[in-house]
A = this chain, B = another copy of it.
Amino acid sequence: MKKIINNTSQVVEEMLEGIVCAYPHAIKRLPGTQVLVRANKPDHKVALVSGGGSGHEPSHGGFVGTGMLDGAVAGAVFTSPTPDQVYEAIKAVDNGSGVLLIIKNYTGDVLNFEMAADLAMMDGIEVEKIIVNDDVAVENSTWTTGRRGIAGTLFVHKIAGAKAEAGAPLSEVKRVAEKVIANVRSMGMALSACTVPEAGKPSFTLADDEMEIGLGIHGEPGTHREKIKEADAIVSDLLDKIFLDLSLQAQDEVAVLVNGLGATPLMELYIANRKVNEILTSKGIIPVKTLVGNYMTSIEMAGFSISLLKLDNELKGLLEAPANTPALVQY
């Protein structure tokens, strides 16, 4: 295992310290917890909390800030945060306007966030939750009943965050979040596995000429393995799977996320995006917003996913609203 770390049991602790001291004007840590919140708590708005296992950086702490999340809870690597940590986050960010929990669909995450919500509601805090399940690869998986939540979650953070920032009530913030979930689909592939520090070795192996299609962001099995193809053929296969599930036609507007899994150079992500763009435009589909980079990673896995979000005017406006977080800034 070649990693720039100290003690394997301290990676989450030290990572949290390292991100907070990089962006002290934007984020701070709740003392004694693995929760990151905005450095300056907003007065009057619905608060958004997300989180999950660590190892997906910049998700989720990197998206805490104006126009996106209010709090992010970091579990151990690839392990759901515990209910008490999520509960601390909810209490810290609520300002009386209520809290929306953005949960990726993994059994542990769903259970733990729900338990935290129950605790907070007993305190009189208004809490709603939405569950993201954008991954079209597999219907059920190792850690999931139903589809997994992966990189498309970024669009939920961005769009629900913009709605909350605009002062909308909790029911409205939840409504747009659910609209994003209904319209976002993702599909990924990997060239290599990643190594959880405490495990010390890769979670699986792929032959030198092999790739896995539909892999989850924790290395859960995908749909199949096959020989590596050219980038254009890979992109075409991933998009075909998405198109089966997301009805798109000429003149539809979409947002695109070409998301690196940690060890994939931007060069390759741009090459993939070229083909994504070519296929979309050949169908008359209009990519009005594109993000290319490492937004939801799987430690040092090599590979990428494509997410498409079908837009209407409401989603488009919220997607273009300003955001100021460590990992996504726009104005």
Q: Interface of A with B (CB < 8 Å)?
A: 2-7, 11, 14-19, 21-23, 54-55, 57-58, 62, 191-192, 208, 211, 228, 230-232, 234, 256, 258, 262-274, 277, 287, 290-292, 294, 297, 299-300, 302-304, 322, 324, 329-331
Q: By CB atoms of chain B within 10 A, which of A18, A19, A23, A297 has the most?
A: A18
Q: CA of A232 to CA of B16 in the docked complex: distance in angstroms?
A: 15
Q: A22-B292, A230-B5 are in contact. Are A11 and B329 (CB under 8 A)?
A: no
Determine if A4 and B273 form an interchain contact, defined as CB atoms under 8 angstroms apart. Answer: no
Chain B residue at minimum C-beta to C-beta distance from A303: B4
Cα–Cα, bound, A48→B265 (Å): 26
Chain B residues contacting A16 (CB-CB under 8 Å) are: 270
How far does the alpha carbon of A271 sit from the alpha carbon of B10 in the complex, in Å? 10
How many copies the complex holds: the figure is 2
Q: A15-B271, A17-B274 are in contact. Are A6 and B231 (CB under 8 A)?
A: yes
Q: Which residues of B contact A303 (CB under 8 A)?
A: 4
Chain B neighbourhood of A331, CB < 8 A:
322, 324, 329, 331
Question: Is there contact, CB below 8 Å, between B290 and A23?
Answer: yes
A270 touches B19 (CB 8 A): yes
A18 CB contact (under 8 Å) in B6, B270, B291:
B270
Alpha-carbon gap, A302 to B5, bound state (A):
13
Do the beta carbons of A267 and B2 come within 8 Å of each other? Answer: no
Bound-state CA distance A21–B280 (Å) is: 11
CA A234 – CA B6 in complex, angstroms?
10
A77 closest partner in B (C-beta) = B267
**A268, B22: Cβ atoms under 8 Å?**
no
**Given A2-B191, A271-B6, A272-B4: A18 and B292 within 8 A (CB)?**
yes
What residues of B have a CB within 8 angstroms of the CB of A58 in the complex? Answer: 266
A18 & B277 in contact (Cβ 8 Å cutoff):
yes
A18 touching B271, Cβ below 8 Å: yes
Task: Please give the distance in Å from A245's CB to the nearest CB on chain B.
Answer: 23
Are A11 and B208 interface neighbours, CB within 8 A?
no
What B residues does A15 contact at CB under 8 A? 267, 270-271, 274
Q: How far apart sit A158 and B329, CA to CA, in the bound complex (Å)?
A: 16
Q: Which residues of B contact A265 (CB under 8 A)?
A: 55, 57, 262-263, 297, 299-300
CB–CB A21/B294 < 8 A: no
A330 contact set on B, CB distance < 8 A:
329
Tell me the smallest distance from the CB of A63 to a CB of chain B, in Å: 12
Give Cα A259–Cα B324 distance, bound, in whole angstroms.
21
* Given contacts A264-B300, A300-B265, A274 and B14 within 8 Å (CB-CB): yes
Given contacts A2-B228, A15-B271, 20 further A-B contacts (CB under 8 A): A2-B191, A3-B268, A4-B234, A4-B271, A4-B272, A5-B271, A6-B232, A14-B270, A14-B274, A18-B273, A18-B277, A19-B273, A21-B277, A55-B267, A57-B266, A57-B270, A262-B265, A263-B264, A266-B297, A329-B329
CA distance A77 to B231 in the complex (A): 18
A and B contact pairs by CB, cutoff 8 A, 30 listed: A2-B192, A3-B268, A4-B191, A4-B231, A4-B264, A4-B271, A4-B304, A5-B230, A5-B271, A6-B232, A11-B267, A14-B271, A14-B274, A15-B271, A15-B274, A18-B292, A21-B274, A21-B277, A22-B290, A55-B265, A57-B265, A57-B266, A57-B267, A57-B270, A263-B265, A263-B300, A265-B300, A266-B294, A267-B299, A329-B331
